[in-house]
Amino acid sequence: MAIKVLIVDDSALIRSLLTEIIDAQPDLQVVGTAPDPLAARERIKELNPDVLTLDVEMPKMDGLAFLEKLMRLRPMPVVMVSSLTEKSSAVTLKALEMGAFDFVTKPKIDIRSGIMEYAGDLTEKIRCAYLSGRRNKVARQAQLSPVQEKLSADAVLPSRRDHFSSTEKVIAVGASTGGTEALKTFLAALPPDCPGILVTQHMPETFTRTFAARLNGLCQLAVKEAEHGERVLPGHAYIAPGNRHLMLARSGANYTVALGDGPPVSRHRPSVDVLFRSAANCAAANSLGIIMTGMGDDGAAGMLEMHAAGARTIAQDEESCVVFGMPREAIARGGVDEVVPLGDIAGRLLGWLASHGRRSFRV
């Protein structure tokens, strides 16, 4: 039986394009559309959809107000459809905090071709949202099919070992679907003198700056969008900018940030595989890699490289993941030292640091 989808968007063109994309999939079916939340309320009662796509900015009632009522009165899987603006970015991130499963972005220009480029991403997220709602985690990734050529980290960064003498530690973290909340939980639990942290979260431009600012207000660490060439400092977390690869580099005895515009790796830019390879190259046993909730397998190959280079590696466990795709693949390839619940990851990191000479933290 096909997954039933209700589209809520005030644009007739967007409703038409999303219907075309979704109905082209044999396992998905648009059972109805609504131009605003008030109409959507009636359509939900009438059609009992499995998944909702919800526009952020709409007349009569904004997407956040509707989502709040929906999650309180009739919880269901929701994929937000957001514009690439600062305002929409903030609203979308708030929607994820309120329980939306994930989001896709609307293009600013050439809407038809732009939306079609997101077709594979949209349909994958609808499937995962549905399966997440049913808590059928084992079957999630088996139902996803590749939609474009898949490149490895070789397309951006060669594998090598930089030989140097250093005891400075660095943390590399990768996440995707469900990662915004997972990262908030993890980073908020860390003390202000933690080693520098580099984070690749699959997220488009505009959103990463808003996301970093939101985390910065919640954490003892200083959280910012990464800038090319800046030094990686203790007590700081650096978020990969949307559409840029984030890499660890070295300048003399210091770790630095490098950003790249190379092709997507594992179908993503930024790519977790690229970040993890750079950590294996530059920090090796002085690094710790963490892979969190997310669709697909980005980061699995890179985590195996970190593990082979002597790094400590941690994967989020299935029960605490929104989507157990990326961690599962990393575990299956043999690159993970331990699998732990989200709430325990910060503690394991601090334990590893303590065992390597960092014995006191200002919590």
Residue 111's pLDDT is what?
80
pLDDT band at 162 (very low <50, low <70, confident <90, very high): low
Q: Which of 162, 358, 349, 121 minimizes the C-alpha distance to 258?
A: 162
Measured in whole angstroms, the distance separating CA 290 from the mean position of its chain's CA atoms is 13
Global pTM value:
0.86
Tokens standing for residue 196: 């520098």
In percent, the amount of the chain with pLDDT more than 70 equals: 92
Which of 202, 245, 268, 307 is catalytic? The answer is 202
Is the pLDDT assigned to residue 361 strictly greater than 50? no
CA dihedral 276, 278, 281, 283 (to 10 degrees): -80
For residues 286-302, give the mean pLDDT. 96
159 or 247, higher pLDDT: 247
Distance between CA atoms of residues 6 and 27, nearest Å: 14
- In one letter, which amino acid is 228? H
> What are the DSSP calls for 3-64, one per residue?
EEEEEE-S-HHHHHHHHHHHHTSTTEEEEEEESSHHHHHHHHHHH--SEEEEESS-SSS-HH
Q: How far apart are CA 253 and CA 168, in angstroms?
A: 9
Averaged over 250-279, what is the pLDDT?
94
Other Cβ atoms closer than 10 A to 278: 30
Residue 96, amino acid? L
Q: Name the band, by pLDDT with cuts 50, 70 and 90, for residue 161.
A: low
CB within 8 Å of 126: residues ≥ 6 apart: 3, 5, 22, 28, 51, 53, 79
Among residues 273, 297, 298, 317, the one annotated as catalytic is: 298
Q: What is the mean pLDDT of residues 227-242?
A: 97
298 flagged as catalytic:
yes
- Per-residue pLDDT reduced to its tens digit, 105-151: 887 778 888 788 889 999 999 999 998 876 443 333 433 444 455 77
Which residue do the tokens 């619940």 mark? 341
Q: State the pLDDT at residue 130.
A: 94
Question: Helix, strand or coil for residue 263?
Answer: coil
**Higher per-residue confidence, 184 vs 132:** 184
**The pLDDT of residue 165 is above 90:** no
Find out whether 150 and 120 touch, Cβ atoms under 8 Å: no
Say if residue 203's pLDDT is above 70: yes
Q: How do residues 302-316 score in pLDDT, each as one tens digit?
A: 999 999 999 999 999
Q: What is the pLDDT of residue 139?
A: 39
Report the pLDDT value the prediction gives residue 245, as an integer from 0 to 100.
Answer: 97
Alpha-carbon distances, residue 121 vs 75, 145, 192 (angstroms)? 23, 10, 36
Assign residue 99 a region: left if phi > 0, alpha if psi is -120 to 50, beta otherwise?
Answer: left
pLDDT tens digit sequence for 143-155: 344 445 577 777 7
Query: Mean pLDDT score of the chain, rounded to an integer?
Result: 89
Q: Indicate which residue of 176, 271, 287, 320 is catalytic.
A: 176
Q: What is the DSSP string of 123-159?
A: HHHHHHHHHHHHT-GGGTGGG----S----GGGT---
Helix residue spans in the chain (DSSP H): 12-23, 37-47, 63-73, 86-98, 111-117, 119-134, 179-188, 207-216, 272-282, 300-308, 326-332, 342-355
Mean pLDDT for 36-56 is: 94
- Band of pLDDT at residue 24, cut at 50, 70 and 90: very high
